[in-house]
Every structure is written in structure tokens, then in C-alpha cells.
A and B are shown apart, each in its own frame.
Chain A
Amino acid sequence: MSNEHSMRRVTAIRNGTVIDHIPQGQALAVLDMLGISDATSVPVSLVMNVPSKKMGNKDIIKVEDRELTQGELDRLALVAPDANVAIIRAYTVAEKMTINLGDEMVNVVRCTMSNCITSNLREPLPHRMKVVSRDPLELRCHYCGRPQDLVKLVKNVI
């Protein structure tokens, strides 16, 4: 099945954001990282496990009436670093965006080490993860220096 067909599983949106090429099974984590929960009032469409020429299988998310900012999208580097993002206005692609992984992720995730100083949630300084390597992705806590287990880290989204 072509990519075009898979996109038709959900109707085109008038205004909002389409996040394509999310790794298979990561769509829920993406929603989590964007803070889109069941309490969100805007319509959200979720397509999981659809065939993709580029990725084998992929997930897609469409968020209506909300334009995600670059800052919000950059949070996704952890779970969907190669996702393509399109801002839709009046049914057409008004802007294409990519996810940028900087040198540091600030206030995106909490360190996974239980004895790290940042595990005291009352401490006010930001949670900081240094990007040590991009491919494969390797993150270390700025404070304790501990290399992060990415599977556990996704569960520590702020």
C-alpha cells in the first residue's frame, strides 16, 4: 500500500499539524511528550502501524486547530527524531518543519537514576540532558553524568 493510501485513512484536516514518519508504536509516546491527553479539547487523529516505503511501518498523528511550535516538536527527538511535520492552513501545507536535536534537552525528561539530585522534585533548577551522541542517541544527565536508558527515559517525560 502506498504512502498516499495510508494517509487517506484519516480525512485531511483544515488547520493544524500533521506529524508523519513516527516510528511504529511510538505515537502514544509522542502524544504524551506533547502533553496531548484525553483532556485536550482539539480533535486528534491517530494512525498506527501503517505501511511506509521509508520505514516499513509507521505511525501518523494529526492535531486539528493547533500549530505546534519548534520548541514543542524538538521534544520529540527522543522518540521520533526523523518525523516530518507539516503545518496545515486552509487544507494546504503552509510550512514544513523538522525536529532538531540540539546539544542539550532542557526540561523534557527527568534523569532515570533514582539517587540523582534531580529526583527531589522540589529542587527548582531545570532538568538537563546532554546529547553525547546522535546516532545512536546517547544522553547523559547534566548533573550526575549517568548515561540514560532511553526506554526508561521515555517514561520520565516532564
Chain B
Amino acid sequence: MAMVQHQAIVLDSRIESVEEAEAATERVAERAGFDEGERHRIAMAVREITVNAVMHGNAYDRGKKVTIEFDLSPGELVVSIRDEGSGFDTTGVADPLAPENLLRQSGRGIFLARAFMDEVEVQPTSSGTSVRLTKHRQAQAPSRS
């Protein structure tokens, strides 16, 4: 049976947690053997989803946590980010590439996560939102950094 390495971190709902999530992701992605460019993109995807979890999901509520789980298997790295908020509807996010939205100040976070990862699944649950980010290890692009 293929071995899966699992790691979880639980973060407070504050801006500083975003930096912690990014740094932890960089370490896991480096251990997984992704090149520098891919590590940057994976970490940014996790950062953007964690920002959503802290700001929009948990609304900076100190009583709510953001849980990030890393599952590294031979084929892929899966990062699951879960908040304890009231749910996040991605269908309500305007297309940031539409000409009328290019000058909007916000709304690019989930778009960047989708651009940088192979799969992005948003799963609203009764106790918050869980976002599952997947990066295939065998599909690494050449470094562009």
C-alpha cells in the first residue's frame, strides 16, 4: 500500500495565521520535491484560501479556528483548509477576468487558487467551509522562477 504522510495545523482566525499557513505549505511542498516555482504557486493558493477562511469564513472570530491538513502521497499533495464559519458560496464570486471586473479591488483569491492548483473543491458543510486543493506530483511544470 502506498504511504501517505499526514500533517495538520490548527490556526487562530487572525492575519498572522496566513503567514503561518504559507510557511507550512512551503515546507511540505519542498519535502514533496516540488520545484521552487511550484512551491511558490502552491503556497500562494493555500495563502489565498486561508485568507478567505480567516476573513470571510471565521470573520476574525477568536473563538473559531482554521484547520489545515496536508496529505502527501506518491501521486499528489492534497491540502484541505477548513473554517468554522457560516459557509462560502463561490458561485457568488464575480469573474475577475471579465472586463467590467478588472478594476475591482478584491475577488481574485479563489481564482488564483484555481489557476495554481490542479484541482480545487469547495465543500460547504454544516460547520463551515472546507476547500480541498490538489497538486499532482507527476505533473510538475518546469521552474519559471
Q: Do chains A and B interact in one complex?
A: no
